Every structure is written in C-alpha cells, then in structure tokens.
Structure 1
Amino acid sequence: MNGRRAAAVVAVAVLAVLSGCAGFSVDVDERTSGGPTASAPDATNGTTATVVEVVDGDTIDVRYANGSTDTVRLLGVDTPEVHADNDPSEYEGVPDTEAGAACLEAAGENASAFAREWLAGARVTLVTDPAADRRDRYDRLLAYVHVAPAGEETPANETATADGVDFNERLVATGRARVYDSTFARSDGYYAAESEAQAAGRGLWRCRTPGTDGADGTDGSGSEWTDGGLSMSDAPLARSDSGLTVERIEADAAGNDHENPNGEYVVFGNDGDASLALGGWVVRDEGGHSYAFPGGFALGPGETVTLRTGTGADTGDTLYWGSDSAVWNNGGDAVVVERDGEVVLRYAYG
C-alpha cells in the first residue's frame, strides 16, 4: 500500500470513529448551508440584504449590496425540520410518537412556505445581538431578520421596529417555531410569545394532540392548516363578500423596480367555503394598468395565488401579469379587482 493510499485509509477511519462519537452529528441541510463569501461584509446591526433563497423556516441565504452572499440562521428560534427527522421531545408537550413526528413535519413545511411567502426576494435588515454568538458552528450568521410587509399593520403582540417587523418573533407568535434555548437579548419577549401560542394551541402546538382537530397537518378536510396561526397571512389585508382576499402586496421590488418586475407581486386568497372562479376578473391599479385572470382559473378554499408583474409560465399558484416594467406605485396605490365591470375588492396602501 503506498503512502498516500494509507493516509487516505487512516483519514476515513478517523472520520468513521468521529461520526460515532457522542455529540458529533452532521445534519444534511446544515452541512451544505454555506457561510459568507470572501467579500461578505462583517454584518452589524442595520446591515441590509436581499433574500435570494429560503432554505427552510429558520434559514435563509442573502446577498449584500456588494454582491457577496451569506447564510443567515434566524436567531433565537427553531422551526420543525423538513429535510430531516424531527425529535418531538424538543417541542414541549408533543408526544414522541410517529403521529407527533408527522405532525411536526407538516408544521415545518408550513413554516417554510410562510417564510418563502414573506422573505423570498425581500429586502431585509439583519440585526446581530452582542449577547449571542455572531456565527454558529456552520459559520452561518446568527441574526434577527426585520422585514417590512407593505401595507400591513404590526399585530399588537409583535414588535415593530424602524426597519420592520421582527420576523423571528413572528414565527414564534404564530406558532411556527419554538424558542431555541440559548442566550439572546430578546428571549423574554420570545418566551412570552411562545407561551401565548401554546395556550392558544396555535400552529405546531396543535401537535400536542396529533390526529385530532386537524392536528395531523390538515384542517380535517385534507387541506393545509388555515387556522390556528398557520394560514399564509395572519389576517388578510382586504376581503370581498365573495371570499376573495388580498393577503399581501410587495410594491417595492429589490433594486430598480422596472428592471425587476417579478420582484413586485400581489398575493390573493380565498377564505370562503367554495371554489372561486376568477376567470375574466380584472385586477387593476390606480394608474390604469390592468390584468385579467385567465379563463377557467379558479381558487379553491384556503388557497392563495401570487400575481407577479413580469413574465413567466402560469401555474396553479403563480400567475404573471406580462408587463415589462413595474405596475405598483411604491409611494401608494390601490389594488382593485373588478367582476363584469363592478368593483368587488379594493385595497389601498401608502
């Protein structure tokens, strides 16, 4: 055996021994999550960045103004795993059973979808905490992520800041995450939000009684949770008598709006009990831009659809306006929906 091959065998053997040692484990997602690129700034309080990928409910990849990238682990929170097995014992009161684990997996999927809905493509403010570590063992930045949803008031039980809502706290308050037991300055507020979510049986805390009241990851009819803090939006911005809602609007796309029309969008929902046939309904703004839902398009109960301003291939949950420039006015505008020339829904912001 030559020297290089022998060394390789020894290295493999050492790794094998280490992998069996207590306390040594490598989660697939965390192993592949990257740290900062070489030119990444030393992120401090108030550093802004654009979210380029939502890895899961509590991990995102961002790009800084200089083009460098980083992976951010949301400080102080832990959402259920979606790419690995969950340990129910980490979630107070959730039974350590197959049903409990399956329920947590469904809750983790919902947390990831919620994070994508609010953070994907968004400009966020990263806030580090002197009381906590700056990076974890995977070299991910540990930070509070502040985001400012357009047109939405901050719920009374959540913290508003000059640069938006503390999204980490929002995950806890809506029952999509537990508080990660660690040292950080905002822990008291997070624990209070967690206690409230637990008392209300909100979100993942419904997994304490899996298999009842839709706690298996559905609302009892096979649809995703649409109650108990697990709907895509905590409350619609506007609702029509037909059940059509405006769940969210992102009017200010990252960078130059006209060069990034798909970065602005409106999320519509159906909170009615029946399917909503939207074919031919018209969406317009106050400036005279208009879009018609394709013929035959329908939105089922509890479903949402994102209408992006730019171009792309329509799917069941994403539609494209087809504009080569921005539509929604950053300073203020109105989302108007008409059916047969009559206004059925209007939401003004600004």
Structure 2
Amino acid sequence: MSNGGWLFLHDQSDYGNYDQTANLNDIAGYLELAFRFNDDQVTDDFRNAGEPYQPVTTQFNTAFDYFGDRDGLGLDPNKTYTVPVKEVIDGDTVKVTFDDGTTENIRILGTDTPEKEVNDQYERIQEWEGIESNTYLESKAADATDFGKSELGGKTVDLVFDDNEPVRDAFGRVLGYLYYDKSGDGTRNANYNHQLVKQGHARVYDSSFSKHSAFIDSEETARANGTQVWAESDPANSSEIRDNPVDDLFFPKTASVRTATGGVSDSRVPVYAETTATQNLDGGYSYGGDIPLVAVDESANVAVVGGPFIDEGYEKNEGYSTDTSSYGNYPFLTNLVDYLADTSGDVLIDGGHGQFGADYGLSAEDAAYYMRYLEGQDIAFEGINDFTSANLDGARAVVVTTPPESFTQTEIDNLNTFVSNGGAVVLMGSGKTTPEARGNINSLASGLGTDLRVNADQVTDDTNSVATSSEVPETTAFDSSFPLFDAYTPGTSSGYSVSIPTISEDGSTLNDEYVDVKNGGSSSLDLTGWTLEDEAGNSYQFPDGFSLAAGDTVRVHTGSGTDSSTDLYWGRGSAVWNNSGDTAYVYDDANNLATEQTYPTNDSDSKIAVKTVNEDGSTLNDEYVDFENTGSSGEDLTGWTVEDEAGNSYQFPDGFSLGAADVVRLHSGDGTDSATDLYWGGSYIWNNGGDTVYLYDDTGSLHTDYSY
C-alpha cells in the first residue's frame, strides 16, 4: 500500500454461521486504518434484489469520483460488428466469430423458435397461440434450424444491438439483430430476426425490444395465413381451462390500494385481504380495518389491483411448490375487464416500460397461462410496447403492471382516447418494488383521471396464504354485489367432488397396476373429456359418455380389457406409475385440476440431495458435484438434468439409477461413466466465487437446488 497499491476488504453478514468480521477488522487495525466493519446485517423489505437481505440503493455520495461513466469492456452496444457465421445451432441461436478470434452464441433478439425434442423440457406450450401439441412443435424445430442454415450458413453478417435491450441475456448469450445479404446483391440489409417471424418459423418474444410492433404485425400475418409453425394454430378451438366460479384469489407480493387522499370507500372495493392480514408500511396509508386489494373507478374505466396476480411464476409447472390452478384469478380478471370496458376485442399487456425482467413487473412473456385461459374464452392476449392509436385500436383492455420506466404524455393521451372509446385499463401494483416504479404507476393512474393509487406497503398474511408463504396471501373476502365472481362463461361451474383413494403402482401385471377414481358428490358425473395423467405427462382420456354415479369408484387399469362401469383400461403396453413415486392428476373437461394424489407420502422416500460441491479442482475431473439418494428406494434418473446459474446443462444417461443411500459423483471433465462416477465432458462449470446447482426431474420440475 505504501507503494501505491490498493487493498479491498469485503465483509458479509453472519448468515450460515459465517463470522469473519473480527478477522477483517484485525487487518484494518494492523494497517492503522480509521474504519471498522460493523457486526450486523442490513436488510430492506422494499428496495431489494428479490429478498430483504439483498438491499438495493441509489443513495450515493457523489463527492467520490466512483459513479461516472467510463470506457466499458467487451462488446460496444453502439457498434455494428461484421462477423462470419461459424454455426447455426438452431433457428434462434447462431454462433459467430469476432475479429479477435473469440466466438459467441448470438440469441436472435425478439424471437422464439420451437424447441428440439432434446430440449422439450424448456418448451412452454402456453406461449404458442392456438397450438396444444408439444410433439407438433418439436416437428417444426428442425424446419426453423434448416431455415437458419439456408439463410445464414457460410455467410458474413452484421451484428447490431437494440437500445432497449441488454447486450447479454441472463444466460450470458449475446442479444442482437443479424443483418445479412438475402438478395445476393452484396448488401447486408435483410433482418434475419424479422425473417424468422415473417416466414412463420418463430413467435415474437415479448421483451422490450424496439421493433416489437413490426414483429407482432408480421406474426399476426403469418398466423392468419397458417404459415409454417402456425399451420395448426387454431385459437378459436383452444380448450377451455380454469373457468370456474371464483371461490378464492391469491395475490403474490401485493400492496394494498388507496386513493390520492387516503383510504378507499367500501363501495369501490370488490376484494379485501382476510382479517388476518397485516400491512408492512413503506410510508403509505395505514388501514385500521379491512385492507383493500382491488378497487374500481367506473367513471374512469380503471381498476387497481395490489399485486401481479397473473404471474406465471406461481404455476406448478413453472417450478412453484403449490398447484394454484384452482384459484379464480383468471376468470376474476376477465370479469373485471368486461365490467369496466364498453367494447370487445383483445386484452393487451404492457411490456414497453421495462417490465420484462423486472421482479415486480410482467410482460406477455410472464403471463402465458393467462393467455391460454383467454384463448379458451375466444379472447386474444397480446403484448404491447408502443402505445400508439393503431396498436390500441381493436382492444377492450390494457393491463399495466408496475413499470420501471414512466409513461410519456403522448402515451397517456393515447390511453385516454382509448378509454373514451370504451376501453378499460387495469393497473397492477406490487408490494415489493421501488418508490420510483410505484410512482410511475401512480402517475399513470393520475394521468388517466382516477384517484386510485397503489399504496406504499406490502400486505402479508401468516394464516391465509399459499404454500405457507406470508408474502402470497389468499382471500375469500369478496363483495358479491360486484358481478365479478362467476365463471366467465356461464354454466361452467364444476360442482363436483372427485378423489383418488387408491394407487396400485407395483402390480405383477399391467392390469394389476391401476388408479381408483371416486365420485364423492351427490349426483352422477359425466367424465367425457376428463383425463388421468402422471408426472411424465402420460395421459388417459375417459371414454365419451362415461358417467360415474354418486359415491361410486371406477378403477383405471394400465393394461387392456373391456371397459365397464367399474373398470376402465388404458390399453398401454408398458407401465405408467413409477414404483419409486409419482403423482396421479385428474383433469376435468375444461382442463381444470379436479384432484391429485402423490405417493409415497413421505418425501424422503424419493429425495436426491446435493451432498458435495468441489468447485475449485486442479483438473476438470477434480471439479465435481456429489448427488446422494437420501431415500429408502432407488431412483431412476433417466431424463433428469443438472444445471448451473449460467444455464449449462447435463442430462443423466438413459437407464441410470441411483440406489437408496448411494452417491454418484458428476465430474466436469471426460471419462467412462459408471455407477459411482459420471462425466459431463466439457469445460469448467462451477464458479469458484459462488454458484447454484439445480437438479430437475424428468418432467422439468425443480427437484432440489444448492447454492454455495
């Protein structure tokens, strides 16, 4: 230090029995420095990067010259890079080589092509309007790849970035447009990203990129013409899902609703939190009694909802711990839209003000399950980034979640014109946002002529909540005088009581393997269109016209036989139900989950744990992760995958099983697989500075994770 060197000391809190503060303070003492670390932990319930122990701040002492701009490292977002194409990996990923010899995977910005079969676990069928078959999408993945090879193979392209997007995505891939010579005249003026959409090989990825409107127009044309992947798109015949009367609602990370001057009057509140809920104030209005979560302003055609309650992150298929499909969030929101709107048409959701990628905001990319619900009601759901009159024309409502960026006066004027023509606006707040973002949505509310506001608080409930998470309160505190709590389509009420009393997973024959389904209701139940599924997605459809009398049970055998009123036969040639554990799901004819049963009931019977991570090996094979079966029976890991935070993925070999109490070591390098050692066969994976091991089962669901 006396010779001009710098010393950086980095402390951390005592979480996980880490306590090195005294050691670091000793260093400061030996160097006769004036400062010491405080032995504490700083948390922030509101301004954080996802959790209170990750505080975020903009409170800088600008007397220090540490906050100015400087020349960056890596790719310059303002520069065009002319690069040769080294490989077309698939339709929306291309590898290029830069002048310095480095190679990068370019993620084709604004597009999403179907996943190949090997990556099927990453496909979200709900994102593809009017398409309900993963197998069909897989068949179109090769077409998209072939198109990319025919257009870009062996060519030199111009890589250009978008001002509205980062240079890299969350997985480290470069995001950009590729311009190429399509006509052969030597001019690289064709946008490959746009061509993918125009030619029907891709859907538009609803992030905040600046060409979103033009891409959406091209996608709509391709869909209307049935071009390529859209040949089997038929939204008008999409299955109805989840359209039941609204018995309960859940509100993740929600704020309450207030007015510009204080509390909201009861006459404007259709939904309150339960009386067990509490407010965590961030300078907001304190309610002495019931806490409103939804409020309406009929004169302004505006509603304010406290939280982003159509966030697909709370879907079980997306890794959430609890099945939320029985909650009435989707029909409630759709009823709310129709209650406020005086016109018909699409429902739009804003993605042009930074919501994509914000923890507290949603774009269309974050609400695909609600899109699929609306399809079943013959309503289109589209992302909108540019609030022009042309883009708003033909819509019935706009949903705006908490925006990191403010609306311009021109955008507000266009929204007011939209409202004056009968359109509705639903504003969704968040209880875990920044004051600036909350200010943006409240400024929009003011500009729309309503006095409703998102409150500066977070509503939690330790008693009435989803998955025992107080930050996801549930409620049945409704004012039923509002016409918001029926199924959106009349006559779709379930009114049934179905259970699975028995699962025989280990039969000596296929017909000794079965599931019993019981009608616990007081009247006969028509099971036409109902399905029985396992965790892997194998599906059995009950016969047309099959009815189950009140109190009766029908046994669904895996094998073949003659159907009767008490016994049905799947007709499979192989077993369905895993001996080591599985879940049986029964869905009704609207694809609502009617009941489910998981076995074994003790989770430890089928638990693969991360035992050890050695991230700092001297060779690739000295870098490894140990997985231990802590259960009492073997586990078939066929189709299971391991990933790191960067998205690098390893798939266990077909037929590989891990016995009870056994451990297998997954090395990063090369070698010959055995019962105790497996080999990734690549480069270094696990970051020495910290990383997370994610283990996904063969359905793509997160089984466990381990951070170091």
TM-score between both structures, scaled by the size of structure 2: 0.22
TM-score between both structures, scaled by the size of structure 1: 0.43
- Please identify the structure whose Cα radius of gyration is greater: 2
Flag the structure with more relative contact order, 1 or 2, with Cα contacts below 8 A and sequence separation at least 6: 1
